[in-house]
């Protein structure tokens, strides 16, 4: 079996979002489906590849790169040689998300050819995973956060993660630059959510790197400890590794980072070695399934958790192939009042992460990544 073609189909969708206390009107957006085709008819697919989870499609320039440079290197190759390709493109310093898209489409191809889900091809470990509700930032007042957390608890979530106030002023309720941080209001949210849900719900916290000083990060961290939060995610800019080393030493709450730093599993292995984090973080757009599995092995060897960043089909397959002792939770969301997370997008017949009343997301048993693609919609809405 040989690769004969790579195609990127870009197509139009309508998408609704949430920003600064408001449910936004649906807007036009572009999604993409990358397709790898072989001479024996086997195909592999990946939806998305840019931005958050699987939702955002590749740009026209990125699509051209895949259909040009990447296709020229992969044409005539055995599609099962993923590890070889991963090293080719990694040493060539290619864009992480493009390496990832190719890698995941190849995993999907082989799993489809064998008639199994990707997580079984990787080595199955579990078919359901604990989920946590992950919020949009700037959802409203502290009471708004508290009420949303209660709603999530009633739906079955056992873990709730707060994205607090950033690039928005919760006092004036107007967009704002990244400085100053609003730690007084952030702390009010921390207190309100814990008071609302009680001590039997796991809580986590992610200011998305917007605390610019060590003192801010430390002060909020101590408040999180007082309210028994599980982890403190990405509190500061992730290029300041020495400052993270100091924070991890001084605080008792586990520091979960890096989240978005470039360098895939190599960067994260160095953070673990340096003691700059207590738990590590990655997603499949930072090296593909191949790269993430490398990090889960490093994390297991060092006895630290590797919490997977973002929702998505590829991330969920990773979780199905790992132990809860290494990768515990699935990030479900982003969620906010009024956001419909349960209806599939028009190009899919079903969502990829249905959750039961006990807060578990069940892995699809469809071959490959789990897509149930509506080809008629994609073909009718090509850009």
CA 71 to CA 240: how far, in whole Å?
A: 37
pLDDT of residue 108: 98
Packing angle, helices 214-226 and 241-250, rounded to 10: 30
Before 180, cis peptide (omega within 30)?
yes
DSSP one-letter code for 12:
E
**DSSP secondary structure of 254-310:** PEE--SS-SSHHHHHHHHHHHTS-SBEEE-TTTTHHHHHHHHHHHHHHHT--EEEPS
Q: What are the residues facing 332 on neighbouring strands?
A: 133
DSSP one-letter code for 201:
S
pLDDT of residue 93: 84
Residue 252's CB is within 10 A of a number of other CB atoms, namely 10
The domain made up of 3-115+376-380 has a fold known as: Enolase-like; domain 1 (3.30.390)
Packing angle, helices 288-302 and 264-274, rounded to 10: 10
Q: What is the CATH number of domain 121-362?
A: 3.20.20.120
Q: Which residues of the chain have pLDDT under 50?
A: none
pLDDT of residue 64: 98
Do the domains spanning 3-115+376-380 and 121-362 agree at the CATH topology level? Answer: no
Residue 60 dihedral angles phi and psi, to the nearest 5°: -60, -40
Residue 28's CB is within 10 A of a number of other CB atoms, namely 9
pLDDT > 90 in the chain, percent: 97
Token couple for 290: 């191949």
Question: Do residues 308 and 315 touch, judged by C-beta distance below 8 A?
Answer: yes
Residue 323's CB is within 10 A of a number of other CB atoms, namely 12
DSSP one-letter code for 70:
I
Note the pTM of the prediction, 2 decimals: 0.96
Q: Which residues contact 369 (CB under 8 A, 6 or more apart)?
A: 45, 46, 104, 107, 108, 111, 117, 118, 313, 314, 317, 352
Question: Do residues 271 and 280 touch, judged by C-beta distance below 8 A?
Answer: yes
Rounded to the nearest 5 percent, the helix, strand and coil shares of the chain are 35, 20, 40
CA 338 to CA 294: how far, in whole Å?
A: 38
Reported as half-sphere exposure (CB side, CA atoms, 13 A), residue 336 has a value of 18
CA 353 to CA 194: how far, in whole Å?
A: 26
Q: Where are the domains of the chain?
A: 3-115+376-380, 121-362
pLDDT > 70 in the chain, percent: 100
Residue with tokens 């006092």: 171
For 74-98, the pLDDT digits (tens) are 999 999 999 999 999 999 888 999 9
pLDDT of residue 353: 97
């Amino acid at each position: 079996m040989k690769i004969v073609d790579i195609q990127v189909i870009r197509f139009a969708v309508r998408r609704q979002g949430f920003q600064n206390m408001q449910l936004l009107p649906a807007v036009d957006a572009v999604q993409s489906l990358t397709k790898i085709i072989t001479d024996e008819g086997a195909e592999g697919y990946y939806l998305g590849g840019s931005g958050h989870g699987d939702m955002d499609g590749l740009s026209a320039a990125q699509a051209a790169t895949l259909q040009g440079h990447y296709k020229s290197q992969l044409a005539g190759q055995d599609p099962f040689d993923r590890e070889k390709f991963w090293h080719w493109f990694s040493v060539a310093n290619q864009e992480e998300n493009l390496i990832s898209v190719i890698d995941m489409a190849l995993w999907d191809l082989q799993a489809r050819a064998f008639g199994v889900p990707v997580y079984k091809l990787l080595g199955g470990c579990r078919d359901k995973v604990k989920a946590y509700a992950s919020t949009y930032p700037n959802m409203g007042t502290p009471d708004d956060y508290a009420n949303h957390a209660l709603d999530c608890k009633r739906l079955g979530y056992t873990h709730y993660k707060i994205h607090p106030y950033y690039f928005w002023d919760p006092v004036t309720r107007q967009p704002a630059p990244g400085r100053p941080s609003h730690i007084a209001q952030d702390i009010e949210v921390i207190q309100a959510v814990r008071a609302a849900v009680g001590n039997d719900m796991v809580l986590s916290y992610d200011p998305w790197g917007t605390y610019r000083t060590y003192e801010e990060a430390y002060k909020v961290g101590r408040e999180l400890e007082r309210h028994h939060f599980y982890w403190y995610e990405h509190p500061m800019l992730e290029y300041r590794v020495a400052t993270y080393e100091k924070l991890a030493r001084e605080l008792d709450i586990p520091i979960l980072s890096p989240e978005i730093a470039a360098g895939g599993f190599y960067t994260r292995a160095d953070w673990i070695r340096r003691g700059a984090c207590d738990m590590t973080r990655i997603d499949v757009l930072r090296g593909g399934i191949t790269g993430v599995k490398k990090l889960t092995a490093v994390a297991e060897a060092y006895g630290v958790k590797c919490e997977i960043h973002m929702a998505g089909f590829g991330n969920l397959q990773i979780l199905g192939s790992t132990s809860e002792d290494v990768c515990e939770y699935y990030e479900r969301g982003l969620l906010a009042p009024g956001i419909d997370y349960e209806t599939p997008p028009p190009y899919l017949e079903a969502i990829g992460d249905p959750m039961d009343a006990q807060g578990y997301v069940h892995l699809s048993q469809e071959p490959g990544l789990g897509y149930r693609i509506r080809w008629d919609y994609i073909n009718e809405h090509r850009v």
